[in-house]
Structure 1
Amino acid sequence: MRVFVVAGEASGDKLGAALMAGLRKHTPDVTFEGIGGDRMIAEGLQSLFPMDEISIMGITEILSQYRHLKARIRQTADAVLAARPDVLITIDLPEFGLRVAKLVKAESDIRTVHYVAPTVWAWRPGRARKMARHIDQVLALLPFEPPYMEEAGMRCDFVGHPVVTDPVATPDEVARFREGHGVQEAPLVLILPGSRRSEVSRLLPVFSQVVADLHMQRPDLAFVLPAAPNVANLIDEAVASWPVKPTIINPPQDGVKAKQAAFAAADVAVAASGTVSLELAAAGTPMVIAYDMNWLSRQIIGRMLRVDSVTLVNLVSETRVVPEFIGANCQPKPIAAAVLASLDAPDDQMQAMAFTMDRLGRGGLPPGERAAQAVLDGLTENGGRIA
């Protein structure tokens, strides 16, 4: 069996490596070609070119690299057509992967699978119909996504979210973390301003005031801020002027386990919107979600949103127990009040987080293996082939 797999970001590399391991478990003679990072290379992939060449985010960055990206898209499609694999699997990064699939479908009948469904349930539903022109099957991370893809004409399999297999700190690691940072029995508030420079710059002033308000009302609270590597310097500079300074955790120096221990040790978190809500749910940490954007983005996204919550725990659990303060509502005082309320009465969130993890596949087959089974099943349906 020959598989061509394309990933363009660290998260996609992680998904791809788990999928490759799952395919090898069920089809030992499988061979892989494509684009990936260190994890996929360790699973036997020879990358066509370095993955980071297509790891480009943002409209300005994409436009500045347009010619180069277009050439890489054509090169990748040509490599797929020359290889004639049993299946082409593109992982997330739709700006690149779906364009490759479109070119491949225009010149062949190679089966195409896209791993990570686009968020058509939240905004731009027309993306599903456009995808269906050149994607045969979608592998979804969230349990409510398949109907949206199926309605557009694609097979869609819910395969589980990788967060359910991520390590969670043990009680001993939590105890060592608390002792090592001098917080012992103090209630611990986790501050998570995001990982992109633009969002961190916008949220840090708000979070600074949240921390100050919380400290004024509850002087016993301790604060910890795990900094993503690419924004660590920005955070260090900003926090130096905060009236109440949290303990900063820098994963490259302190180790990944320090971040895991911080998540598990915290009693409550203030977090930017995103998949971090699922990481917190996996650790069993109640949260308050806060996010803001520039004025134009507020107007555009506000009009395009199709859901009344942007927090995945709320959406997966079909509750609205996680407080969120988005756009103009991202104000320090109500955020601080919600943090204290969540700290004092966490039970509803604890139940919703446990239910979310169960719905995402905790305790079942690992998502990578489920994804592999779905790909193999898709290949054999409707007269599909496996060489």
Structure 2
Amino acid sequence: MKYYLIVGEASGDLHASHLMQSLCRYDADAQFRFFGGDLMTAVGGTRVRHYRELAYMGFVPVLLHLPTIFRNMAMCKRDIVEWQPDVVILVDYPGFNLNIAQYLHSHTRIPVFYYISPKIWAWKEWRIRNIKRDVSELFSILPFEVPFFEVRHHYPIHYVGNPTADEVRNFRASYTESRQDFGTRHQLVDRPIIALLAGSRRQEIKDNLPMMIAATERLLERRGLTRQYQMVLAGAPSIDDAYYAPFLEGHDVAMVRNETYPLLSHAVSALVTSGTATLETALFGVPQVVCYKTPVPRLIRFAFNHIIHVRFISLVNLIADSEVVPELLADRFTLEGIAAHLERILPGGADRAPMLEGYAEVQRRLGDEVAPDNAARIMIDKLSQR
């Protein structure tokens, strides 16, 4: 069968590449055409556009690049119609992908499958109308989305397991490097590691990394622990060393690149910017504090309490449906707050054991299904029925 996939960022490229590999396992005649990245290209097929040509984040960048975005949308629609795939598989990236789904529903009979469902439970819940109308099958990787879609909105979906859990499980099963060897390879001192995961985008790093460093330094100095721990930053693949340099200058912070999983394998605690990294950190069993600076913090707190439809921002807490990890965002994002919570999750800290118990519940709720394999089998079955 012919599969047309559309992703808009690096995480989508990763998840879509694994899905493509699974589709190949169950469909020997699978053909791919896609808007995607290097990982999808390595699997095979024809890449029409790289996701870097689509990935504009934030109001101002999107506004400035509207003509490019509209050109890419129009080109994508034409290309799908010309190729006539058996299915179009959308991966996250709802701003672009839901527009494509609406067009295909209105102008073609090509079915639309959505892998990694849009997070409308947090924002823009009205999009459920578009999803019900335009999406033939919806595939979720978060277990709490099932009652949201099926009970609240009477729209059946497929929970297929969580690909991040798959990836962490596979990595941990094969990773054997000792902390000493990891430290030697990266020229680290022989001390327990406090990992800093400050995000993958420049604005996130600018907003969060300085406070992460300052709070950790304050705690270690105040408790006389400076020579007992070391800070190690997980460098984002798309950010060069020159961007990090001003934030690290004058501070005793090491950095490792493209090795977040090995770093988490050896960390004792972590400060983490909200996102998939919070779930990865939990799956490695590393106690964490979630840090996220926002503009106009009091307004954001008001919105969080009265407008946004979720209790939490971290995937860990959302999956557990309880506050397993502290979320220091908006008005709670303070130097003293981060330092205090970090102290409580270091070895011997009062919150460390309860947090690890919460992590066990998160893993139980995620299950041990292999998400791309499950999704591929269901997709092929649904397409065969059509």
TM over 0.5: yes
* Aligned equivalents of 1:153, 1:80: Cα separation in 2: 30
**1:246 is matched with which residue?**
253
1:198 maps onto 2:174 in alignment: no
**Aligned positions of 1:81-92 closer than 5 A:** 81-92=81-92
- Residue deviations 1:250-278 (CA, integer Å, cap 9, x gap): x1xxxx3x432221111111111111111
Secondary structure of the 2:179 match is helix
**1:328 is matched with which residue?**
331
- Residue deviations 1:226-269 (CA, integer Å, cap 9, x gap): 22134443322112144xx22122x1xxxx3x432221111111
**1:347 is matched with which residue?**
353
**Aligned positions of 1:15-94 closer than 5 A:** 15-94=15-94
Change (3 A) 1:66 1:142: same
Report how far residue 83 of structure 1 moved.
2.6
**1:275 is matched with which residue?**
276
Change (3 A) 1:179 1:338: same
* Aligned equivalents of 1:209, 1:355: Cα separation in 2: 32
Report how far residue 179 of structure 1 moved.
4.6
**1:161 is matched with which residue?**
162
The runs of at least 4 consecutive aligned structure 1 residues that moved more than 6 Å come to: none
**Aligned positions of 1:201-216 closer than 5 A:** 201-216=206-221
Paired-residue identity, %: 27
* Aligned equivalents of 2:33, 2:235: Cα separation in 1: 35
1:312 maps onto 2:315 in alignment: yes
Change (3 A) 1:379 1:265: same
* Aligned equivalents of 2:319, 2:357: Cα separation in 1: 12
**1:233 is matched with which residue?**
242
What amino acid maps onto 2:261 in structure 1?
A: Q
**Aligned positions of 1:246-265 closer than 5 A:** 246-249=253-256, 251=257, 256=258, 258-265=259-266
**Aligned positions of 1:375-386 closer than 5 A:** 375-380=379-384, 384-385=385-386
Q: Is the Cα contact below 8 Å between 1:173 and 1:261 reproduced in 2? A: no
Q: Is the Cα contact below 8 Å between 2:301 and 2:330 reproduced in 1? A: no
* Aligned equivalents of 2:260, 2:360: Cα separation in 1: 21
Secondary structure of the 2:233 match is strand
Q: Single out whichever of 148-157 and 305-314 deviates more from structure 2.
A: 148-157
* Aligned equivalents of 2:118, 2:28: Cα separation in 1: 31
Q: Is the Cα contact below 8 Å between 1:159 and 1:370 reproduced in 2? A: yes
- Gaps in structure 1 of 5+ consecutive residues: none
* Aligned equivalents of 1:34, 1:328: Cα separation in 2: 42
- Please report the TM-score for the alignment, with normalisation by the length of structure 1: 0.88
Change (3 A) 1:261 1:44: closer
> Among residues 153, 169, 177, which one is paired with 2:182 in the alignment?
177
What amino acid maps onto 2:322 in structure 1?
A: T
Q: Single out whichever of 122-131 and 144-153 deviates more from structure 2.
A: 144-153
Q: Is the Cα contact below 8 Å between 1:199 and 1:293 reproduced in 2? A: no
Secondary structure of the 2:3 match is strand
Report how far residue 48 of structure 1 moved.
2.0
Number of aligned residues: 371
Q: Is the Cα contact below 8 Å between 1:136 and 1:155 reproduced in 2? A: no
Q: Is the Cα contact below 8 Å between 2:149 and 2:157 reproduced in 1? A: yes
Report how far residue 70 of structure 1 moved.
1.2
Report how far residue 8 of structure 1 moved.
2.2
Report how far residue 301 of structure 1 moved.
4.4
**Aligned positions of 1:278-317 closer than 5 A:** 278-295=279-296, 298=300, 301-302=303-304, 303-317=306-320
Report how far residue 300 of structure 1 moved.
7.2
Q: Is the Cα contact below 8 Å between 2:188 and 2:254 reproduced in 1? A: no
Secondary structure of the 2:134 match is coil
- Residue deviations 1:57-99 (CA, integer Å, cap 9, x gap): 2222222221222122122112222333221111111121211
Q: Is the Cα contact below 8 Å between 2:8 and 2:54 reproduced in 1? A: yes
Report how far residue 10 of structure 1 moved.
1.6
Q: Is the Cα contact below 8 Å between 1:87 and 1:110 reproduced in 2? A: yes
- Please report the TM-score for the alignment, with normalisation by the length of structure 2: 0.89
* Aligned equivalents of 2:129, 2:218: Cα separation in 1: 47
Change (3 A) 1:161 1:233: farther
Change (3 A) 1:50 1:269: closer
Secondary structure of the 1:328 match is helix
- Residue deviations 1:319-351 (CA, integer Å, cap 9, x gap): 312112110111111211111111224222222
Secondary structure of the 2:89 match is strand
Report how far residue 24 of structure 1 moved.
1.6
Secondary structure of the 1:47 match is strand
What amino acid maps onto 1:206 in structure 2?
A: M
- Gaps in structure 2 of 5+ consecutive residues: none
